[in-house]
Structure 1
């Protein structure tokens, strides 16, 4: 309590500081974000408006260009005297063209001395010298195409608004200067258009020549304006002469503006549009004032609530920390209990197996033991070793470290064959019903692991029924995995051929809700310590996942449970059942040489001695490096290499890959009781013999591969 008091006071002090600092920081951040957003919005508005002004100007000058082209076509090949003689007709034609173009004030045809031959205003044309006008002088020396001049005032006796000339050269047949065709364009036409589209406060438009002469602008100005190309605005435009966005202060009115400019593609004209920066700031201030008016009270209330919540949250965190400590202690105890159950179960099962082996060995040592009993004890040792191997296989399958040996087989046939074995395991008081379709249902999986999984599900069902009831095994095909597959569900890519579902249903007590989510958990079992390992359903789970399948569980208290194993359906054809290798006679190995690679001296010596007893010549080395040295000396002296997988330094799989690289015709047989490399990547095409193996199994594999190599070498020699 004494410690909590200063903490509470310190919290109150920080809350008082935060109640001022945090709102100010948030408002400053919001202001910065809003300012950037409003500037970006203004830039987009300027760009859109500039596109409109640019498109308008481009169409205007293209129209004027076409008009000048049409006038040039009208007078093509007509000498000055002919034009003068047709002045009245040309006047009507020019007036008709000008009347259709609101941006054009008048159109003129001048001779080489600057006198008007025809125009759209009056007939006859006044005897005035226009040779001093810029739109005339620009064409005297050479043909420069379309020329756009500065703003001019009408020359007496003409009156009216200011204009600028757009002109082209008239050339004689010999190419010499023959005069000018000119159209007088009204700047006020552009200003009126800009006034219509520039309705936002602070809007600005202008267009002018590339030399800095401003021809028209909005808001309009009475004075002629020329921008200095070497001034601040000219230097900024020179950085990107085609188009851009700049912030400038006008030298004429001193107003700062955000301007966008763009040059007309084929003309010495810049079009610009912009907004006064004061108008942009006004938008920002208006937005922020609304945030301030409506946000300040809400922010104040929010911070009061947050301050109160912070105080209560600290208390909750403290209580939550205590709960987490208690939960971790409970989970640690559960893990220790589960580990104890696993250890006890495995120790119980292995002690039973070792008892059988020890007793059989003791009995075999009696000198007067009859032959039938000796054979029976040897068979007991062999069966017990097989059961021990099955137990370690369950451990590996649970850990998903079992190296599977997929093969194509009919699920329905295998389940029917398992029926008698299941009946022996579960007892005569339980009725067994097996429903399998007549049509084959092929899968590509490890047949031994599949049978173990079915047996484990059956044994689990037997325990749930307490020795009496009905057990139903059903085989069927389905199109897809269930949407939710209980505790074991994980998403899979859908198999195009569908799935084969093997369901084991019982009439037992069902699974309680508090245990349903844990049935596939590591080490979980409801049996007493020493009565089981709890690996049965874990093996089913591991096998399903490693085979690309799934396990689904449905249960109802008092009505039983149904475990369904889903495995990918495979295309295949029925095959005749072959005689198991275990039932075939031993194979004599005389004449064959085997390189045995084993880091365990006892296992290596056992394998070498056993092979020697069957007639093989065995060469034993302790690691992969020595094996490669032996092969480098005389690879042809060996018919096959037999190597363990898990070895220090280079593994057996890496050794096999090296042999394949340098001696591709030398077969390699791998053996392992456990290897995470094989469980993840498989044996990559090499023959694999699982530990523990019988000497007969080893001899058959070595004899088959050695004979294959000899036949291949004989065929190669005959072909050579």
Structure 2
């Protein structure tokens, strides 16, 4: 799936670069690209949920983060639904993964929106408050006994509610009471997984035909440096005519990304599998400034090619790329070489390429 999205986003970039950036067409292409990266984020969440593995958690001020996220996601709420927000003065510093928390909020908001279908005077209320656990909370959640305080996010609606017989199943994967085609049954299961991976607690209260309230409790941190809640927009950094060897077994991804790299002033050599990549490096070693290798390829994997290239030229500059879950590190094969995610965010990729290329060059010493 991520390989397909990589080809789509690459072609979107090429299409946008050939038209007036102020045109309606450019705006529509930008929207498609945004949706493509949202789809990629969903794929990543499914991979994380499936492996129940590591997430990239950093200190995060939850109140400003949720404020910004709510602004972005509120466009998914129909005009007939009243959406209200209330926040405490405390910024509520937690340790969290930005992408996962965005997905958590979107899943809960979507669930509330869907529960309001056909409801008069529909309402969704969001609140963020400081919470110190009491004895009743600790009794319900013994794992929270050593936590001094939590950030409590509550999202409530006055929708159709949840039937009592379904309450114990709401967080089960693929459980849904929605019509066929209107729900996957993964939204709340993913929400539960995300909260658990953040060492938090999720509770739900519901009354049929009166509504539901989901309460998320995330442990607060007392001393940590905050990070910006939303990444700042980055610009694409052009190359300086360097030569890149690009290897990928997906022809669409290979050709599209090669064109993208060419459009930002790189010369590109391509290879369809690991063996072809290694042979191309041997033939053009004196010309190649950087090698980008898909991790999973036929004949030779990316890490296999990287090891053999490093035997030829210990100072060779390398990057890996993957449409799979890079956190799994493919059993340690990637070592300390940076891994690019598919679909490619060109601004981030161009920055990584420049960072690798501008390190003190050892390429000339390796050439013969």
TM range (shorter): 0.7 to 0.9
Distance 1:577 1:415, change over 3 A: closer
Instruction: Please state whether the residue corresponding to 1:641 is helix, strand or coil.
Output: strand
The residue number in structure 2 matching 1:588 is 238
Correspondent of 2:321 among 671, 687, 696? 671
Root mean square deviation of aligned Cα: 4.3
Contact 1:440/1:574 (8 A) holds in 2: no
Counting only pairs closer than 5 Å after superposition, residues 525-544 of structure 1 correspond to structure 2 as 525-544=176-195
Contact 2:248/2:254 (8 A) holds in 1: yes
The residue number in structure 1 matching 2:100 is 449
The residue number in structure 2 matching 1:604 is 254
Number of residue pairs matched by the alignment: 342
Correspondent of 1:619 among 264, 269, 291? 269
Q: Tell me whether 1:698 sits opposite 2:349 in the alignment.
A: yes
TM superposition shift of 1:689: 3.0
The residue number in structure 2 matching 1:646 is 296
Mapped to 1, the partners of 2:149 and 2:274 lie a distance apart of: 44
Mapped to 1, the partners of 2:67 and 2:317 lie a distance apart of: 37
TM superposition shift of 1:694: 3.9
After superposition, what is the alpha-carbon deviation per residue over 1:632-653, rounded to whole angstroms, capped at 9, x for unaligned?
7887864443222333465446
After superposition, what is the alpha-carbon deviation per residue over 1:7-63, rounded to whole angstroms, capped at 9, x for unaligned?
xxxxxxxxxxxxxxxxxxxxxxxxxxxxxxxxxxxxxxxxxxxxxxxxxxxxxxxxx
Contact 2:128/2:151 (8 A) holds in 1: no
Q: Tell me whether 1:469 sits opposite 2:123 in the alignment.
A: yes
Correspondent of 2:175 among 524, 528, 539? 524
Mapped to 1, the partners of 2:307 and 2:58 lie a distance apart of: 24
Larger radius of gyration: 1
The residue number in structure 1 matching 2:226 is 574
After superposition, what is the alpha-carbon deviation per residue over 1:460-514, rounded to whole angstroms, capped at 9, x for unaligned?
12222345024123243556985546xxxxx969877765443323333332121
The residue number in structure 2 matching 1:320 is none
Contact 2:247/2:254 (8 A) holds in 1: yes
Contact 2:160/2:209 (8 A) holds in 1: yes
The residue number in structure 2 matching 1:505 is 156
Distance 1:663 1:511, change over 3 A: farther
Mapped to 2, the partners of 1:495 and 1:651 lie a distance apart of: 46
Contact 1:398/1:535 (8 A) holds in 2: no
Mapped to 1, the partners of 2:304 and 2:149 lie a distance apart of: 37
The residue number in structure 2 matching 1:36 is none
The residue number in structure 2 matching 1:246 is none
Using CA pairs under 8 Å that are at least 6 residues apart, name the structure with larger relative contact order, 1 or 2: 2
Instruction: Please state whether the residue corresponding to 2:23 is helix, strand or coil.
Output: helix
TM superposition shift of 1:595: 3.0
Counting only pairs closer than 5 Å after superposition, residues 316-395 of structure 1 correspond to structure 2 as 372-395=23-46
Mapped to 2, the partners of 1:634 and 1:562 lie a distance apart of: 62
Distance 1:646 1:403, change over 3 A: farther
Gaps of 5+ in 1: 1-352, 486-490
The residue number in structure 2 matching 1:276 is none
Mapped to 1, the partners of 2:133 and 2:284 lie a distance apart of: 56
After superposition, what is the alpha-carbon deviation per residue over 1:228-251, rounded to whole angstroms, capped at 9, x for unaligned?
xxxxxxxxxxxxxxxxxxxxxxxx
Q: Indicate the structure with greater helix content.
A: 1
Mapped to 2, the partners of 1:498 and 1:684 lie a distance apart of: 38
